[in-house]
Chain A
Amino acid sequence: VLKFATGTGNGTSATAPAVPGTGNAAVDTKIALAGGATTGPFIDYAHDVAYVTTNGTASVVHKFSGVFNGTLAEVTTGGWPATVPGNPGVSTPVYDNVSRHVFATDGTGHVDYIDDSFPQQSWFPGRLFFRALESLPHPWSSIPAGRRCTHSPETQTG
């Protein structure tokens, strides 16, 4: 998570970009993710939380707290991180702030979700079969209540 500097020190040249923490107050916080390639994070701004999936030796949905307003850390209680049974591959997650379900597709052609409304998350696999086998990942997007439209998590707009 890159938190931009305030005031001066953010650099003035596109060809000579500023280095976070060097001559400015920007902070680049990194957390190593074991387990293979990651997908784009989905941010739940209301709860200052991010969801990220990794695919490799296991298909895992991760949850991070303190993304913007606290100390970034992976949640390791309440059933997190959540490992998808059978390692089918898992797509970029999408969080619905009404049902508090975290959706993802898996490599068996199903849409699954995690119910994150309980202290102990619950995994609901394969609830919607909608396709034959197809390689992952697909872009996912969300239309949060009150917003006009957002597209893939990498390009969310408020």
Chain B
Amino acid sequence: VVVDSSRQKVYAFAGNPNGLNAVAAQADTSLTAASKVVVNVGGGSNNTVLEGDFNNAYYSGGASTASFLYVVGNDASNRQRPALYNIGFDSTFKLNATAANSASPLVLSVGNTNNVIASPVTEFFNSRLSRDFMFVSVSDACTNGAGNLPTAGCIRSLDITSGVPTNANAVVLGASGGTGTITVDNNNVAAEASSVYYTSQSGNDIVKATQAALQ
């Protein structure tokens, strides 16, 4: 759940393991019924839908039409693969009832592997590059291995400057078992000073990688 004190909004997320829908929800800070919006983000599954994050336009006071909540739900397959949705807002920053890409969310795993788990998404606007990034990992089945990309767990750097990208595999780095919450360390021009940090879910490791290329 996320609380936006500036706009007095509360956001909640859930996977709905009873088989209905994975959801993202919004209400005002008094949780009034009239303010409630529940948006489906794919089929229900046992996967916990972890907290979403917002794009740079939302954080920087941009227009509501340019602002989006990003959240990983599930795709429409019976495998319920993790899939990235973006949800827009009306002029009062009330969530739209349907995700902008509900018909074609960006699927983050491949094949018939069940129970693939994603990390929470982490947004960071790199002002030096003028690019808006979203970082997310999956625990398994990242790609089919083409181009020597990882086939197990991985972390992705997704450029969301122009919305949800169509290619999930533009920047991928192997991360066995996926990652915990991903932390971003700024946009300094010095070497290794525009980084992301995350913990491995398959060992006792803390990993550092670059933001744009995940090296």
Contact = CB atoms under 8 A, between A and B. Distances in A.
Interface of A: 91, 94, 96-99, 101, 103, 105, 109, 111, 113, 124, 127-128, 130-134, 138-146, 148-149, 151-152, 155
Contacts of A111: 1, 10, 12, 25, 27, 31
A130 B3 contact: no
Nearest to B22: A131
B122 A128 contact: no
Contacts of A146: 6
Contacts of A142: 2-3, 5
B17 interface: yes
Nearest to A143: B4
A109 to B, nearest CB: 7
Interface stretch (B45-53, B71-79, B103-111): B45-53
A128 B3 contact: no
A128 B48 CA distance: 19
A138 B50 contact: yes
Nearest to A113: B31
- The secondary structure that dominates the A interface is loop
A141 B181 CA distance: 12
Interface in B1-24: 1-6, 8, 10, 12-18, 20, 23
Contact of A130 (B14, B51, B122): B14
A54 to B, nearest CB: 18
Contacts of B31: 111, 113, 124, 127-128
A155 B123 CA distance: 15
Contacts of B181: 139, 151-152, 155
Contact of B1 (A97, A99, A132, A141): A141
Nearest to B1: A140
A17 to B, nearest CB: 16
A155 B184 CA distance: 12
Contacts of B54: 149
B36 interface: yes
Nearest to B17: A134
A143 B16 CA distance: 25
